[in-house]
Structure 1
Amino acid sequence: MSNAATAAMPPAPTLPDWVRPAIEKFKRLELEYMASLPLPLKTLLGDGDPASFDSDKHHMRLYGSLAFVLLGVKPCALLAHGVSLPYTQGLVEAALLPVARDFDLQGHGFLVEKIQHRLLTDNPVHPGFQGAWVVANTRHSGYDLARRTFLTPAPGDAWATGAPAPPYNPRKPKPAPAAFRAAATIVTEAQIGAALGYPLPGGDATVRYIDNTESKELNTCCVPVFEAFCPGGMGDIMPVLQHFTCYERAWAALGRDLTLDSEGHPVLKMGMQVMQAELRGQGGGGAGGERGAPSRRGTARGGRR
């Protein structure tokens, strides 16, 4: 981050003394869990190539999603993986539950709960989130929406008595049987985005926030810690930048640098390039480092963040 950008940011908030150690412990346990995966699971997550999983694993890490919840800016985190429920459950048992226990997340106002019911989206080929886990900040203004979205089954949901979800093949996704969907809870993808704290839920553009500090420490292309779909119009840029600034400030409280990857949002990328050129012309330096730099996108990626 440039000196000019650092000076322009308000001071990072003071954290409770348990937050940073909790995040660091989850980070460590998540990486240890990934390293311990058996070869068949790495092969599955790497789309048939375990080496692909090893090279792209930093794209599917979820420590950032949990961190933003514990930092107070994100209403909830969703721990999910569309390809492998056993992977998610293993991560929860290896990393999330030990952190929740050791740092008394419940006592600090955080809910940790498994999605038991048949939670599907309005995308008919999406596998849904049954078996995923939610970490929610009960003091956040978005908590009620998060609970309604992820943890409240519809009256006709047959999760307790119905047949399990049909197998999901990511290479050939197909809709679940009509009878299964009729006895499920269906929420829109826009509502899911809102519950997860996206800046502008819905849309075809994508923005990612990158832990630039972690990327440099691990000498890897990038470590995404937040990813969101959003509209891609010119009038949608300012809410995204305001959202990023809020998350950037929270990340700075950890002593870490957050950058904005706008490769998936061409209009935002163009607008940021114009703003940076204007700042350079005024002698103001860059605006928070090189944001929107190209980054290789991995295939071994988890669910929503």
Structure 2
Amino acid sequence: MRIGIWGTGGIARAHTRHFARLDGAELVMYDLAPARAEAMAATVGGRAVATAEELLAAVDGVVIAVPTDAHYACARQALEAGKHVLLEKPITRSLEQADELIALAQAKGVHLVPAHVSRFFPEFVAARDRVNKGAVGTPAAIRVYRGGKAPQGTEGWFQNLARSGGVILDLAVHDFDWLLWTFGPVERIYCRSVRMGAEARDVPGDYALATITFQNGAVAHLESCWMDPLGFNIAFEVAGSEGLISFDARAVAGLRITGAVQASGTNRDASDDPFYGQAKMFGAVLQGAAPTVSAQEGRAALALALAAEESANTHRVIVMDPATASV
């Protein structure tokens, strides 16, 4: 199983560590900075190549972990070469680009798989499973938080809104995906965002707070932050007619379920790293399995993130197009 890693940033290094754990995996690295690719390859016994063409000729599938504004061009080149692609989120910077890649993957008979790693966090998986099994009755109110310190990246690309999309497209998109996956189509969204240190602070950037109304009537409050001095954290609550599911990575090592009548705490250990779970899924795709996250789901998360970005810029409620509200 020959797997390419395109890029050498922090997320690329995480992918590399966990793909190296797969049985029979042969890793090939490529980056515009050859020395970085060689150094990363050396950490796992892989090899580095000098060009993207060499990379694609040497692998069965490729993980694309480059800055967001390069996702479209790199993924297009890989798909045109007939390779399965695991593409970091958001899959592209626009819906038009996403549609082109989805159509190209279909034409080439390969899979375009969004790297929505929250699908592999045990707590997020367990919460969705409990919701679907009626543990809280009818879901009514959801709260999601994801935050950390501001990332930089090569040449500070994360802080360039045109390149990264800021905290909304880069960070909140994880939770947009989980919310759509768990609670279904969105009817409307309203978002406010600020950028620290900017002359005009009321612009999308480092902090975002979104209110999301689902077609089933549930309401979610989503908070994403690149200004958390304590570092990375995730937390969520799902309140329904029969109880509450909650998780806070800083407060408890697992999921807590509180019934409407009798409280009972349940902890779930994170027995597997989510990046390893994602690597196993893509490894199975290379061996003929269907992906558990579809390109259309990646597009739906992107559509909701772009709607949040539009709302933050215009201060208006954005009503979702039913065609893009979910998969």
TM value normalised by structure 2: 0.25
Higher normalized contact order (CA 8 Å, seq sep 6+, divided by chain length): 1
TM value normalised by structure 1: 0.26
Q: Greater share of strand residues, 1 or 2?
A: 2
